[in-house]
Structure 1
Amino acid sequence: MIGRSFFLLSLLQAVVSGQWSADNPPHVTAQNGLCARIPCQYRYPSYLNKKPRTGIWYNSETQNYRSVAFHSRYSSEISTQFQHRTRLSGVLRDNDCSLVIDNVRQQDTGPYFFRVDFGYGNRYNYHPPTQLRVIDFTDKPTIFPAEMVAGRPVNVTCSFNTTCDGTAPTLTWVTPADDPPSASHSVTQQGDTLTYTSVLYLTPALKHHGQNLTCRVTYPTVSSEQILTMAVQYAPRNLSITSPDDVNSSWVSVKEGNSAAILCSVQSFPASNLTWRHLGVTLNTTRSNNELWMEFPQLTRQDAGVYQCVAENEHGTAERNVTLTVEYAPRNLSITSPDDVNSSWVSVKEGNSAAILCSVQSFPASNLTWRHLGVTLNTTRSNNELWMEFPQLTRQDAGVYQCVAENKHGTAERDVTLTVELRGSERSWKCIVALIVLAVIFIGVVPVIVWAACCRNK
C-alpha cells in the first residue's frame, strides 16, 4: 500500500512539473545600436494563475545575480550593463515574457534565459537559453525618387522601417541647396513594424543636376544613410559645334577632296533629339548621348554652305549654325577689258586710257599680281580681282603682261598681249615717207599699191 501511494505521488509531481515550459527561439540576431527582441511565451501550473509573480532575465547559462538583464520587481537588481535598457514587450500575467534590449551592444552577446518566481518555492528557470548575436548596423533608409525639373518644386520621401519601439531614430536630410532643408516627419505602425517617414520640400536648380541628396537615419550610437544622385531635367543648353579641323566663330574650313567631320553636342536631361539640317533638308538625326556627327567622305565645292544643328527635348530647344567652306587652289583665271580681248590680246589706240581686269576663283582669296618684263606692277589680296590701269597709253606700254594668282593650295597664271595702235596723222606721215622712198627706187604700180595699203585708214 505504501509503495502504491509513493508511485502515485511521484506521477503527480511529474505531471505538475511538466507544466513548466516556455517557447523561446534558440538564436536571435540583432544589429548594433538598434534593439534586440527575444520572443518568449511561458507556461506554469494552473493553480498559480492568480498568484503574483516576478520575472527575471539572466545573461548567463545559469542563475547568477551579477548577470541580471531584467528584473520586473526590483530594478536595482539589474546589472549596470543593462540599466535603463531592458523591458518586457508583453505582460507577465498574459504569459508573455518577451525581452527587449534597447541600444544593443556587442558586449550584450551571449545566452539569455527567463526565470519566474511565484514565491513559496514556486519558481522555475526556463531552459535551454536563447543565444543573442550582435552584428554591425546595416539597415539603411529608403529614398523614393521623384521627377525633378529645374525650377519646379518637388517633394522627396525618405522612410526607415524598424521593429524597435524603444529609442526612436532621427531622419535628417543633407542637400546641395543653399538654404537649410525643409521637411516634415511622421511615424506609422503596421503590426510590429514602425515606419519613420520624412518628406523633403525642394526646388531643384540646374546646378543641382548630378549632385547628391542624402537621407540619414541616426540612433544614439550608430547611423546610416542613403544617397540619391539628383537627375534634374532641363532644356538643351550650351550647344557647341566642334571639328578635328579648325572651327572659328561658327566657321569650318576644309580643303577640297579631303574628308570632314563636324560634331554637334549639347547639355540636356533627358537626352535631346539632335538633327543636322542644310538648305531646309534634314541630313541625319539621333537621340543618344547628346552628340551627333555630320561626316563628308570627300568634300566638293557643292558641300559648302550653312549647316544647322537643332537640339530638342520635352523642356525646350536650342540651335546653332556653322558655315562650311571648301578651300581650293586658284582656278578659272580670266582676263577681261572694256576694250576688245581676243585670244589673250588687247589692242588700244595710243593716247587712250585702258583697264585690264584679272579675276580668279579660289578659297581662300588669292594673292593677285600683275607683272611686265619681270617687274611687279601691282598686287592685292581682296576679292580675287585685280585691275591694271593705263591713264594714257604710249607705245612703250605695249607688250606682254602676266597675271599670277596664288594661295596656300596652289598657283594659276595667264598672259595678255597689249598692243598700242598708232594715231592717224602719224600713220599718214609714215605712208608719205614710204611712198617717196619707193618712188625713187621703183617707178610705176608699186608705189600706188603701197600708198593704198598704208594710208587707207589714215
Structure 2
Amino acid sequence: MTLTCSTDANPTANYTWYKENGNFISLNKGPQLVFSSIQSSDSAEYFCTAENELGRISKNVFINVKYAPKLPSVSVSPSAEIEEGSSVTLTCSSDANPAAKYTWYKKNEDSPKASGQIYNITDFRAEHSGSYYCGAQNKLGRSNSTLHLSVVADTSPMIVNITRFSVVVLGLIPLLLVCLWMRKKKTVSSTSEANEPIETVELESGPDYTNLSDLNMVSAEQDEEPEEQEDLV
C-alpha cells in the first residue's frame, strides 16, 4: 500500500509523514509512504505535513487493516481438573478485525456445544471430560484452539469412608489386646500345670534270683524253719 501526499505551493512544499501511536512518530520524508507488506499493527492514523518558508499545512488519514482471527487463547476457571458436580467456565479470545464470532465444539461431536466467547458447564460430570476447542471466525478466515478437560472424583465420600474405617480399627484395637492378653494368660497357666512334680510310688523289689533252682532252695529253707522252731520249744 502506498500513501501519497500533494499540495499546491510556491515554493515547492516539503513533505513529512507521521504516525500517531500515543504520540507522533516521524516515519518518512517525501510525498509518499510505502508499506511493502502491511500488517495488523499498521492500523493507525497517519498525518502528512506539507511545509515551505511561507507556511505549513497537514492532512490525516486513518488506515484500518483487516485480518483473520489469530490463534485463540482459551482459559478455564477454576482449573483444568474439575471436581465432579462443580461448575466450569471456558473463555475464548482472539485478535481479529473485524471482531471474531466464537463457537464451542467437543471433539468427536459434530454439533456445536455453544456459541459466544464464554461457555459455562454446570454440574460437571465424567461424561463432560474430553477435548474442547474454540473456533474464532470472521469473513477473512477462521482459527481454532483446543483445551482438554478432565473430571476428578469428589473426595468428600472417600474422606468419610476413611474416617469411618479408622474409627472401626481404633475400636477393635483394645478388644484385640484383651484377647491376646487372655490367650497369653491361659498359655502361662497351662505351662505351670505341666511343670508341677509328679508323685511316684516305688515298689520294693525282692532279691533277684538268677535261676529257678535258687528260688526252690529258698522255698525249702522256709519250709524247714518251723520244724527247727518246734524243736526249740
With structure 1 as the length reference, what TM-score do the two structures score? 0.30
Contact 1:277 1:284 in 2 (8 A): no
Question: What 5-or-longer segments of structure 2 have no aligned partner?
Answer: 163-233
Find the counterpart in structure 2 of residue 320 from structure 1. 59
Residue 420 of structure 1 is matched in structure 2 by 151
1:413, distance to aligned residue in structure 2 (A)? 1.1
Q: For residues 282 and 416 of structure 1, what CA distance do their matches in structure 2 show?
A: 42
1:369 to 2:110 alignment: no
2: distance between equivalents of 1:309 and 1:378?
47
Amino acid aligned to 2:139: K
1: CA distance, partners of 2:136 / 2:161? 42
Structure 2 equivalent of residue 411 of structure 1: 142
Residues 282 and 418 (structure 1), Cα distance of their counterparts in 2 relative to 1, 3 Å cut: closer
Contact 2:16/2:26 (8 A) holds in 1 = no
Give the CA deviation at 1:370: 1.1
Aligned to 2:25: 280
Once residues 331 and 414 of structure 1 are traced to their aligned partners in structure 2, the CA distance between those partners, rounded to angstroms, is 10
* 1:228-239 alignment, distance < 5 Å: none
CA distance in 2, matches of 1:313, 1:405: 50
Q: Encode CA deviations 1:369-422: one digit per residue, 9 max, x unaligned.
A: 112333323334xxxxx2222344234433332211122332211222222222
Any residues of structure 2 matched to 1:39-438 within 5 Å, and which?
Answer: 260-266=1-7, 271-278=12-19, 279-285=24-30, 292-340=31-79, 346-372=80-106, 373-380=109-116, 386-427=117-158
Q: Which amino acid aligns with 1:284?
A: K
Number of aligned pairs? 156
The amino acid that maps onto 2:29 is N
Equivalent residues of 2:43, 2:65 under 8 A apart: yes
How big is the shift at 1:317? 2.9
* Cα distance, 1:425 vs structure 2: 4.5
The letter for the 2-side match of 1:418 is L
Give the CA deviation at 1:283: 0.5
Query: Structure 1: which 5+ runs fail to align?
Result: 1-259, 286-291, 341-345, 381-385, 432-458
Contact 1:305 1:325 in 2 (8 A): yes
Partners of 2:133 and 2:51 lie apart in 1 by 56
The C-alpha deviation readout for 1:17-63, integer Å capped at 9, x for no partner, is xxxxxxxxxxxxxxxxxxxxxxxxxxxxxxxxxxxxxxxxxxxxxxx
Q: Which amino acid aligns with 2:91?
A: L
What residue identity is the alignment partner of 2:132? Y
Q: Deviations over 1:343-362 (max 9, x none)?
A: xxx21112322112222233
Residues 427 and 320 (structure 1), Cα distance of their counterparts in 2 relative to 1, 3 Å cut: farther
Q: Which AA in structure 2 matches 1:378?
A: A
- Return the offset for 1:429: 9.1
> Are 2:69 and 2:95, in contact at CA under 8 Å, matched by a contact in 1?
yes
Q: Distance in 1 between matches of 2:44 and 2:137?
A: 24
CA distance in 2, matches of 1:391, 1:354: 6
Which whole-Å CA distance do the structure 2 matches of 1:307 and 1:360 have between them?
Answer: 26
Match of 1:412, as an amino acid?
Answer: S
Three-state SS of the structure 2 residue aligned to 1:329 is coil
Counterpart of 1:312, as a letter, is E
Structure with greater proportional strand content = 1
Aligned-pair identity (%): 26
Does the Cα contact within 8 Å between 2:71 and 2:144 map onto a contact in 1? no
| TM-score where L is the length of structure 2 | 0.54
**Do the aligned residues in 1 keep the contact of 2:71 with 2:145 (CA within 8 Å)?**
no
CA contact (8 A) 1:303 1:326 kept: yes
The aligned residue for residue 200 of structure 1 is: none
